[in-house]
Amino acid sequence: MPSFEYFLVAESASIDQLSNRISLFHVLEEFKIPEFPFNIHKLVAVSSWNWEEGDDEVDFQSMVSVSVPGKEEPTIVTTNFQMDCERRRVLNYFFDLDLECPGELKFELLLNGESQAHHVVSVKEIDSAEL
């Protein structure tokens, strides 16, 4: 099974076609919102995996779950991948997350059903004095 390298959540990502470098824009740790309800149009959860002996031609499943404040069921996005190079990046996109209240967005990364990492984003309402 590939070894885990990193896991982050950002507003967007870009991969340079020539150099294969990834740029992450607006890595999320805290999200300040002017008023609720609020819709987050797009987020990307990025994970990186290192090839290990025996990973050739094996199908792996990356699953990212996000728990939204005030909602009972998490939103889950899955991506299947193979380790056909030394390091594999996996981008899991979330679209139209509706936030009804402040709290924490809790992201969990699983590989083939096994928890690998967590990322928590604080969701706060901006006080009108801060505007």
Architecture of domain 3-130 in this structure: Sandwich (2.60)
Instruction: Name the token pair of 12.
Output: 């967007």
Q: What is the DSSP letter of 57?
A: T
Question: In the chain, which stretches have pLDDT less than 70?
Answer: 128-131
Nearest one of 97, 84, 99, 103 to 45, comparing CA atoms: 97
Query: Any idea what the Cα angle at residue 69 is, between residues 66 and 70, rounded to 5°?
Result: 120
Cα 125 to Cα 38: distance, rounded to the nearest angstrom: 10
Q: Which pLDDT score is estimated for 131?
A: 54
Q: Which pLDDT score is estimated for 55?
A: 87
The letter for the amino acid at 53 is E
Q: Which pLDDT score is estimated for 62?
A: 95
Instruction: Name the token pair of 98.
Output: 């509706």
- Chain-centroid distance of CA 39 in Å reads 17
Q: Which pLDDT score is estimated for 57?
A: 85
Q: Which pLDDT score is estimated for 56?
A: 87
* This prediction's pTM: 0.90
> Could you tell me where the beta strands, DSSP code E, fall in the chain?
3-15, 22-27, 30-33, 38-50, 60-67, 75-81, 87-99, 103-111, 114-125
Instruction: Name the token pair of 65.
Output: 């779950």
Q: Which pLDDT score is estimated for 84?
A: 87
End-to-end CA distance of the chain: 48
